[in-house]
Amino acid sequence: MQNQNSDTAAAGLLAGCGAYLIWGVAPLYFKLLGDLSAPEILAHRSIWSLLLALILLALLGKLRGLRAVFASRKTMLALLVSTALISTNWLIFIWSVTNDHLLDASLGYYINPLISVLLGVVVLGERLRPLQWIAVALAAVGIAYELWQFGSLPLVALGVATTFGFYGLVRKQTPVDSLTGLTVETLYLLPLAVGFLFWTTSPTSNLLDNSWQLNGLLLLAGPITLTPLLLFNIAARRLNLSTLGFLQYLGPTLMFFLAVLLFNEPFDKTKLVTFIFVWVALGFYSADALILRRKRRALRKKPL
Rounded distance between C-alpha atoms, residue 282 and residue 110, angstroms: 8
Please report the pLDDT score of residue 245 as a whole number.
77
- Average pLDDT on 180-194 reads 96
- Residue 135's contacts (CB-CB under 8 Å, 6 or more residues apart) are 114, 117, 281, 282, 284, 285, 288
Please report the pLDDT score of residue 191 as a whole number.
97
Write out pLDDT tens, residues 64-78.
Answer: 989 999 999 999 999
4: left (phi over 0), alpha (psi -120 to 50) or beta: alpha
Please report the pLDDT score of residue 72 as a whole number.
95
- Average pLDDT on 130-137 reads 92
- In the chain, the percentage of residues whose pLDDT exceeds 70 is 96
Residue 175 has pLDDT above 60, yes or no: yes
Residue 299 has pLDDT above 90, yes or no: no
Q: Single out the residue of 23, 56, 71 nearest to residue 235, CA to CA.
A: 23
- In the chain, the percentage of residues whose pLDDT exceeds 90 is 66
Please report the pLDDT score of residue 7 as a whole number.
66
Please report the pLDDT score of residue 110 as a whole number.
94
- φ and ψ at 265, to 5 degrees? -75, 145
Please report the pLDDT score of residue 298 as a whole number.
73
Residue 93 has pLDDT above 60, yes or no: yes
In this prediction the pTM is 0.91
Rg value, the chain, Cα? 20
Residue pair 37/45 in contact (Cβ under 8 Å)? The answer is no
Write out pLDDT tens, residues 199-242.
Answer: 998 888 888 888 999 999 999 999 999 999 899 988 888 877 66
- φ and ψ at 188, to 5 degrees? -60, -40
Rounded distance between C-alpha atoms, residue 291 and residue 90, angstroms: 34
- DSSP 8-state assignment for residue 207: G
Residue 4 has pLDDT above 60, yes or no: no
Place 290 in a pLDDT band, splitting at 50, 70 and 90.
Answer: confident
Please report the pLDDT score of residue 91 as a whole number.
98
Write out pLDDT tens, residues 27-57.
Answer: 999 999 989 999 999 999 999 999 999 999 9
Q: Which is higher by pLDDT, 288 or 150?
A: 288
Rounded distance between C-alpha atoms, residue 116 and residue 161, angstroms: 9
- Average pLDDT on 245-260 reads 93
Please report the pLDDT score of residue 127 as a whole number.
86
Please report the pLDDT score of residue 242 as a whole number.
66
Write out pLDDT tens, residues 118-128.
Answer: 888 888 888 88
Give the mean pLDDT of the chain. 91
Please report the pLDDT score of residue 1 as a whole number.
47
